[in-house]
């Protein structure tokens, strides 16, 4: 029989049982709780993964550019948004504030340059690069990092600035200087003014400081504005600029002035390579007198030299015209009916006066007269630069020009007379051109120079609120035709940019839609293709004046490749916007000159190359064309124009581009 009368013996057993039950209870519920926590964790991770995955191909939530939210946008929505913002900023123009005589003035510059000569943007957003950046923003870490980024964005928005803003700072500064340079008193160097050589009569002219605008901050300010989708006025400051040459420098060498003229004239010589004939130009003491200036010479103090601009102007006007001849390639024409060579031309190296080196030669001869009395140069041979032809006469044999590789066509109908003349001039320059294997063909290289001397004619254009003649309109017709010829010939496209506006001359010849054009403008953009065949190729150009078509044909040796392109599709048309009027004194009061409106568009097509080894290459070309309203110049009397904005335009009439009057 159990003994319950002794507590000391019973209690340990009871406690042990209780502990066992408690431990069992704890383990039982701890296991259940752990299982529940695992289920909840998996559910949370799954939810977070699903949420993170929902932003694949989209901008992360709560991302803001400027004041515009872009979170959740997919590729197409983001591209459309950025294109619209780029167009708005461009059409609003770049606003600059500057001060003259204590009064603030406003200047507006519009980023789009010429339409027919290349649609060059002084500032633009590289939309495609920015789309890629924004879609990938915050997604370059591991899953936990990316999830944390997305969850943190739910708590507060994150402002971002655009990064891919392209500014042509050099050309923007040129445009600013064209307007403001007359308002900048330039520093004036002290100098010696020679009134007569015999007897020597001179006077020392005084120096004075100048005031120049600070252009160096403009590019960064433009980028900052556009990166935040803003168009805040940019203040162009002014700063004093000291003269380089002071009166003391001139006085220190005035005793050497007679020796500058004592040796007399300098004779410039050139020996013609083909004939050995010698041509000479004489710089007499009166020319030297008029060009003379005091120059700093490193290590030697000061000396008498010649003004570079004056000397180069003389050389261009009197010497270059006699010396300069372009390189000429050997070439032959093919009769399309029987494939025979019907024209032969021998090659010739190109020769041009080296202006910079020639000036330095002449200037050094004068500088030496400051320090020396003997051994002075009185005659020198001008420096020239030679360019070898791409194809020499010996190369025209067995080049493999056998059959048509491809043809490009474009329509130039209803073009003004000078535009047709410019097209004909470029057609003549390109006809018969041979392109060697591996060579990259450049449209600009082979159609330059774009001057009156180069055979081009001026067109009347609207630039801002001014009517001005410009030389070389119509060259984009050439670039567009070459682009189509190159694709149909399965050539490798190295450089192509579409126009900024939809111009009917460049619409596709099959469906009359924009997208298969190529713009050309000196110095950029250019149209380039590479001859990646193993043989020479020959460009044959034909201007069909009856049908007003350009027909360019590429000849060579067919290696089995095939080239084709789908005809363009317009994804969306963009309305041109409200018309704008600009008052100008360049027209008679009441007279009106108008530029037609342009609808914008987003177009796309695919270029396909199937190479000789059956390799297939597809390249998608997407083109954005900016919308532009109708713009009219209205003649007014000088007294009725405002004086502060854009050289006489009214504040409400803001031109959105430099436009051709006749397309």
pLDDT above 90: residue 318? yes
- 122 shares its domain with 257: no
Q: What per-residue confidence (pLDDT) applies to 406?
A: 92
CATH of the domain at 232: 3.10.20
pLDDT, tens digit, 9 for 90 and up, residues 133-161: 999 888 777 766 767 777 777 778 889 99
Domain contains 8: yes
Judge whether residue 341 has pLDDT over 90. no
Residues 226 and 329 in one domain: no
Across 58-67, 167-176, 617-626, which has the greatest mean pLDDT? 617-626
pLDDT digits (tens, 9 = 90+) for 398-409: 777 778 899 999
State whether 414 and 546 are in the same domain.
yes
Q: 44 or 253, which is more confident?
A: 253
Would you state the torsion angle of the CA atoms of residues 545, 547, 553, 558, taken in this order, to the nearest 10 degrees?
-150
Contact in structure between 572 and 602 (CB atoms under 8 Å): yes
Q: Are residues 28 and 102 in the same domain?
A: no
Range from 170-184, 211-225, 260-274, 609-623 carrying the lowest mean pLDDT:
170-184
Question: Across-strand partners of 80?
Answer: none
**621 exposed, middle or buried (CB, 10 Å; 0-12, 13-18, 19+)?**
buried
Q: Please report which confidence band the pLDDT of residue 30 belongs to, taking 50, 70 and 90 as the band edges.
A: low
Q: What angle do CA 99, 104, 105 make, to 5 degrees?
A: 90
Kindly give, in sequence order, each residue whose CB lies less than 8 Å from that of residue 360, ignoring residues fewer than 6 positions away: none
Q: Has residue 489 got a pLDDT over 70?
A: yes
Peptide bond into 622 cis (omega under 30): no
Q: What is the average pLDDT score of the chain? A: 83
Last residue of a domain, one of 197, 220, 241: 241
For the ranges 108-122, 457-471, 601-615, the maximum mean pLDDT occurs at 601-615
What pLDDT is stored for residue 339 in this prediction?
39
Could you tell me the end-to-end alpha-carbon distance of the chain, in angstroms, rounded to an integer? Answer: 124
Residue at 74 is within a domain: no
pLDDT at 275: 57
Angle 218-227/169-180 helices, nearest 10 degrees? 120
Q: Do 455 and 512 sit in the same domain of this protein?
A: yes
Instruction: Give the orientation angle of helix 475-488 with respect to helix 417-430, to 10 degrees.
Output: 40
Quick: pLDDT tens for 207-253.
999 888 888 889 999 999 999 999 899 999 888 889 989 999 999 99
Residue 544 pairs in a beta bridge with 549
Structure tokens at 579: 């018309």
Find out whether the peptide bond into 461 is cis, omega within 30 degrees of 0: no
Q: Which of 241, 269, 294 is the last residue of a domain?
A: 241
Please give the share of the chain, as a percent, with pLDDT higher than 70: 82
Sequence-ordered alpha helix ranges (H) in 395-472: 417-430, 443-447
Do 308 and 443 belong to one domain?
no
Clarify whether residues 350 and 495 are in a common domain.
no
List, for residues 504-547, the tens digit of each pLDDT value. 889 998 899 999 999 988 888 999 999 999 998 988 899 988 88
What's the whole-number mean pLDDT along residues 409-435? Answer: 90
Higher pLDDT among residues 589 and 3, named by residue: 589
Domain boundary among 241, 262, 280: 241
More confident residue, 663 or 577: 577
Highest mean pLDDT among 105-114, 138-147, 559-568, 625-634: 559-568
42 CB-contact burial (10 Å; exposed 0-12 / middle 13-18 / buried 19+): exposed
- What pLDDT sits at residue 200? 92
- The CATH number for 305's domain is 3.10.20.800
Q: Give the rounded percent of residues in the chain with a pLDDT score beyond 90.
A: 45
Most distant CA pair in the chain, distance: 156
Own/partner pairs for 228-232, CB < 8 Å, 24+ apart? 228/65, 228/66, 228/161, 228/162, 229/65, 229/66, 229/67, 229/68, 229/85, 229/89, 229/162, 230/66, 231/89, 231/92, 231/93, 231/94, 231/95, 232/95
Residue 139, in any domain of the structure? no
Q: Mind listing the pLDDT tens digit for each residue in 70-103?
A: 988 999 999 999 999 999 998 888 999 988 877 8
The pLDDT of residue 294:
94
* Domain count within the chain: 4
Q: Is 203 in the same domain as 332?
A: no
Q: What angle do CA 591, 593, 596 make, to 5 degrees?
A: 150
pTM: 0.61
Question: Is the domain of 333 the same as that of 311?
Answer: yes
Q: Are residues 233 and 365 in the same domain?
A: no
Query: Can you give the residue range of the structural domain that contains 583?
Result: 398-660
Indicate whether 278 pLDDT > 90.
no
Backbone torsions φ then ψ of 447, nearest 5 degrees = -110, -5
Query: Is the pLDDT reported for residue 47 higher than 90?
Result: no
| Spatial contact of 207 and 246, defined as CB atoms under 8 Å apart | yes
């Amino acid at each position: 029989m159990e003994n319950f009368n002794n507590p000391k013996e019973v209690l340990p057993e009871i406690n042990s049982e209780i502990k066992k039950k408690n431990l069992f209870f704890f383990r039982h519920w701890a296991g259940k709780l752990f299982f529940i926590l695992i289920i909840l964790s998996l559910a949370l991770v799954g939810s977070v993964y699903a949420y993170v995955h929902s932003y694949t191909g989209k901008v992360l939530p709560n991302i803001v550019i400027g004041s515009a939210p872009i979170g959740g946008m997919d590729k197409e929505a983001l591209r459309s948004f950025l294109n619209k913002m780029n167009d708005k900023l461009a059409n609003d123009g770049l606003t600059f504030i500057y001060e003259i005589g204590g009064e603030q003035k406003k200047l507006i510059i519009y980023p789009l340059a010429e339409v027919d000569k290349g649609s060059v943007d002084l500032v633009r957003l590289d939309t495609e690069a920015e789309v890629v950046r924004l879609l990938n923003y915050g997604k370059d870490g591991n899953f936990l990092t990316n999830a944390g980024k997305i969850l943190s964005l739910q708590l507060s928005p994150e402002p971002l600035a655009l990064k891919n803003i392209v500014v042509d700072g050099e050309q923007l500064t040129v445009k600013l200087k064209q307007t403001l340079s007359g308002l900048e008193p330039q520093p004036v160097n002290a100098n010696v003014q020679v009134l007569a050589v015999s007897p020597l009569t001179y006077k020392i002219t005084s120096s004075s400081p100048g005031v120049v605008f600070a252009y160096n901050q403009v590019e960064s300010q433009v980028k900052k504005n556009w990166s935040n989708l803003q168009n805040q006025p940019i203040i162009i400051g002014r700063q004093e600029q000291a003269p380089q040459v002071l009166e003391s420098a001139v006085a220190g060498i005035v005793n050497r002035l007679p020796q500058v003229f004592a040796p007399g004239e300098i004779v410039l010589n050139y020996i013609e390579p083909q004939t050995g004939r010698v041509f000479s130009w004489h710089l007499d003491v009166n020319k030297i007198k008029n060009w003379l200036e005091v120059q700093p010479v490193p290590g030697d103090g000061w000396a008498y030299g010649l003004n570079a601009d004056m000397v180069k102007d003389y050389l261009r006007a009197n010497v270059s015209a006699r010396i300069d001849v372009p390189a000429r390639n050997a070439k032959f024409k093919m009769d399309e009916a029987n494939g025979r060579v019907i024209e032969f031309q021998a090659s010739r190296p190109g020769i041009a006066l080296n202006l910079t080196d020639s000036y330095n030669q002449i200037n050094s001869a004068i500088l030496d007269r400051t320090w020396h009395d003997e051994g002075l140069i009185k005659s020198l041979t001008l420096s020239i630069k030679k360019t070898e032809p791409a194809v020499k006469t010996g190369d025209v044999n067995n080049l493999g020009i056998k059959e048509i590789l491809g043809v490009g066509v474009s329509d130039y109908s209803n073009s003004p007379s000078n535009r047709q003349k410019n097209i004909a001039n470029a057609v003549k320059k390109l006809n018969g051109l041979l392109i060697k294997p591996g060579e990259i063909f450049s449209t600009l290289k082979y159609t330059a120079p774009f001057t009156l001397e180069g055979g081009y004619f001026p067109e009347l254009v609207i630039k801002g609120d001014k009517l001005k003649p410009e030389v070389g309109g119509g060259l984009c017709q050439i670039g567009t035709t070459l682009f189509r010829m190159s694709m149909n010939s399965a050539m490798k496209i190295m450089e192509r940019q579409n126009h900024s506006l939809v111009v009917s001359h460049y619409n596709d010849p099959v469906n009359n839609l924009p997208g298969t054009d190529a713009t050309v403008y000196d110095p950029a953009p250019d149209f380039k293709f590479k001859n990646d065949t193993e043989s020479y190729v020959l460009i044959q150009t034909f201007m069909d004046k009856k049908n007003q078509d350009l027909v360019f044909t590429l000849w060579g040796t067919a290696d089995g490749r095939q080239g084709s392109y789908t005809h363009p599709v317009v994804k969306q048309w963009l309305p041109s916007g409200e018309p704008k009027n600009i008052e100008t004194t360049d027209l008679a009061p009441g007279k009106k000159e108008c530029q037609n409106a342009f609808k914008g568009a987003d177009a796309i097509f695919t270029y396909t190359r199937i190479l000789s080894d059956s390799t297939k290459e597809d390249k998608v070309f997407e083109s954005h064309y900016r919308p532009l309203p109708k713009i009219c110049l209205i003649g007014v009397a000088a007294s009725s124009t405002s004086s502060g904005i854009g050289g006489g335009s009214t504040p409400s009439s803001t031109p959105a581009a430099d436009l051709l009057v006749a397309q």
